[in-house]
Amino acid sequence: MLVSGKELFQDAKRRKYAVGAFNINNMEIMQAIVEVAEELNSPVFIQASQGGIKYAGLEYIAGMGKIAAAKAKVPVALNIDHGTDFNQVVRCIRHGFSAVMIDGSKLPFEENVAITRKVVEVAHPNDVSVEAELGKITGVEDDIAVAEHEGLFTDPDEAYAFVQQTNCDALAVAIGTAHGVYRGEPKLDFDRLQAIASKIDTPIVLHGASGVPDDAIRKAVSLGVCKINIDTELRLAFAQAIKQVLNENPDEYDPRKILGPAKEAMKNTVRAKMQLFGSAGKA
């Protein structure tokens, strides 16, 4: 069933686990995520990035997402990932998204507050949750690139002021994770995460979680992370499975026999993450 992101954030916060948020670009990815959520009785966010919306088109993403959620026996929130354009956020709400992210993290603090408040004003009356971002998460995700040296970790006092002024439902923080494939092992600033979590009641979101070691994820969840975003590990599973099928069967040309194994590979990734995040069995 399609539910507001607010419901997922609040339950995760109350019962101290994190909901996985997986990026969707086509039917197989969407089905892989929702089928495993049902199998494990787990709530889940399915989310469209800017690149995903550009690739598939908002109508297709929204249509598929709503069908997947409606068919599912577990709570599913349909989210826009890293929205930066107010009008696009409004279009997503009109198309039935139940969660939005507005990423004003590149803006000065006051402007980030202003755009987040504006989104909260249209989202909340529609029972749509709002995730905001404070601090800059490094790496490359679709069109969004922040040079690593520009990466700015979230300041706990600013986080407090930000959630007070915006009334957002969740806050994505920069504590050392990055979008994309890591070159070395990521080092997370757990002291900072703890300081942020002690200042705000708002659920915390961890972006760039692909490639972060399991122990670090467990620790982040224990310190108050309630939503964890995964995209790159799904892409890697997808690409690796397709390469293997075509290497082993160079004459194969049936899309179902190429994409089917890719879907199974992504399901294994989703399964492992939901178990790691503690969301399995929580629906």
Task: Kindly tell me which residue out of 81, 131, 155, 169 binds ligand 13P, with binding defined by CB under 6 A.
Answer: 81
The contacts of residue 242 (CB under 8 Å, 6+ apart) are 258, 259, 261, 262
Specify the residue, 121 or 150, whose C-beta has the smaller distance to ligand 13P. Answer: 150
How does DSSP assign 239-251, residue by residue? HHHHHHHHHH-TT
Active site residue 103: no
User: What is the nearest approach in angstroms of ligand 13P to the Cβ of residue 34?
Assistant: 18
Only segment of 34-42, 53-61, 91-99, 230-238 that touches ligand 13P (CB under 6 A) = 230-238
Nearer to ligand 13P, 207 or 271 (CB): 207
- Answer for which of 11, 28, 133, 231 binds ligand 13P (CB under 6 A) is 231
Q: How far is the CB of 257 from ligand 13P (least distance, A)?
A: 27
In single-letter form, the type of residue at position 85 comes to D
Q: Which entry of 81, 155, 169, 231 is annotated as an active-site residue?
A: 81
Exposure class string for 231-264: b at 16+ Cβ within 10 A, else e: bbbbbbbbeebeeebeeeeeeeeeeeeebebbbe
Residues 107 and 222: their CA atoms lie apart, in Å, by 30
Q: Does 263 bind ligand 13P (CB under 6 A)?
A: no
Q: Where does this chain bind ligand 13P (CB under 6 A)? A: 23, 81-82, 141, 179-180, 207-210, 229-233
Catalytic residues: 81
